[in-house]
Amino acid sequence: MFTDRATITQRAYGEQRPLAARFSIYDYQQDRVDLPGRAVEALREVTGPVLDIGWGLGMYTARIRADRPDLHVVPLDLSPGMRPEVVADIQSLPVADADVDAALAMHMLYHVPDIPTAVRELRRVVRPGGVVLASTNGADDKLEFTRLADDLRAELGTRPRAGSGDDSFTLGDASLLEAEFDDVDVLVFDRQNIVPVAEPVVAFVDSFRAFEEPALPDGVSWTDFMTAAERRVRAVVESEGAFRFTSQVGIFVCR
């Protein structure tokens, strides 16, 4: 389900701090996947300009610039709070037809109201023979957090959250890309994550405030939600020695 524009630009990604807390949970990934490095590898034959759309914390732009200083990378994001070089919507890119050699849309298409339009825009701006990279999660990604959130909602009488589930674009949705690209490959990475302390897990839950808080019932504050979350997470860490979860992420390579 897509996220409305106001939530994206003002609450969820109005600043970088919540997203940074969300990414920090992967510091505990076993055999950690270097997604920016994988992106650089997928761009090995690219020689022209590259768009990094929905650049977030800028990790992909930074890695490409470090490893491939010959490439001109332009970071774009819908939210000015992410501090991109260009504020732009992937559904209507301010780029001429076939003007770049590659485009990245990493962990962002599930926020887009009209994904087919976004994919058509990616096809339009990338030259024939160029490459588009799009990353997302699998349907089984972080099910432990899904169960935790479901338990918290049941405990507090919270409605199902109304935005930003990534189920609108998962690793099972290659057909959305195949509608515009002749060749779509996917790299999938399943990893175990073992977090020995509660704090990073609690911070990860708190980073979804923009999506969860609007569904809280009257009389239940975000502090109430997080107090219940912390209690549950600490109980798991104390009884099992760590909070464990499985992550499943992938990158579509489209030509």
Q: CATH number of the domain that 159 lies in?
A: 3.40.50.150
Q: What angle do CA 86, 209, 75 make, to 5 degrees?
A: 15
Which pLDDT does position 47 carry in this prediction? Answer: 96
Nearest CA to 91 among 52, 60, 122? 122
The strand pairing partners of 43, in sequence order, are none
- Report the distance separating Cα 123 and Cα 214, nearest Å: 35
Nearest CA to 84 among 109, 116, 57? 57
215 pLDDT tier (thresholds 50, 70, 90): confident
> Is 91 within 8 Å of 121 (Cβ atoms)?
yes
Mean pLDDT of 146-157: 91
Categorise residue 179: left if φ over 0, alpha if ψ from -120 to 50, beta otherwise. alpha
Which pLDDT does position 164 carry in this prediction? Answer: 47
166 pLDDT tier (thresholds 50, 70, 90): low
Whether 1 shows a pLDDT value over 70: the answer reads no
What is the per-residue pLDDT across 17-62, written as a single tens digit (0 to 9) for each? 889 999 999 999 999 999 999 999 999 999 999 999 999 999 999 9
Which pLDDT does position 49 carry in this prediction? Answer: 98
Higher per-residue confidence, 229 vs 4: 229
Adjacency order of strands within the sheet including 184-195: 86-87, 73-77, 50-53, 100-106, 126-137, 243-254, 184-195
Whether 157 shows a pLDDT value over 90: the answer reads no
Q: What's the predicted TM-score (pTM) here?
A: 0.92
Q: In the chain, pLDDT over 70 holds for what percent of residues? A: 96
- Report the distance separating Cα 71 and Cα 64, nearest Å: 8
Domain count, the chain: 1
Whether 112 shows a pLDDT value over 90: the answer reads yes
> Is 90 within 8 Å of 108 (Cβ atoms)?
yes
- H or E element at residue 233: helix 222-240
Whether 124 shows a pLDDT value over 60: the answer reads yes
> Is 49 within 8 Å of 101 (Cβ atoms)?
yes
Which pLDDT does position 3 carry in this prediction? Answer: 61
Whether 92 shows a pLDDT value over 50: the answer reads yes
Domain holding 143, by residue range, is: 5-254
Which pLDDT does position 100 carry in this prediction? Answer: 98
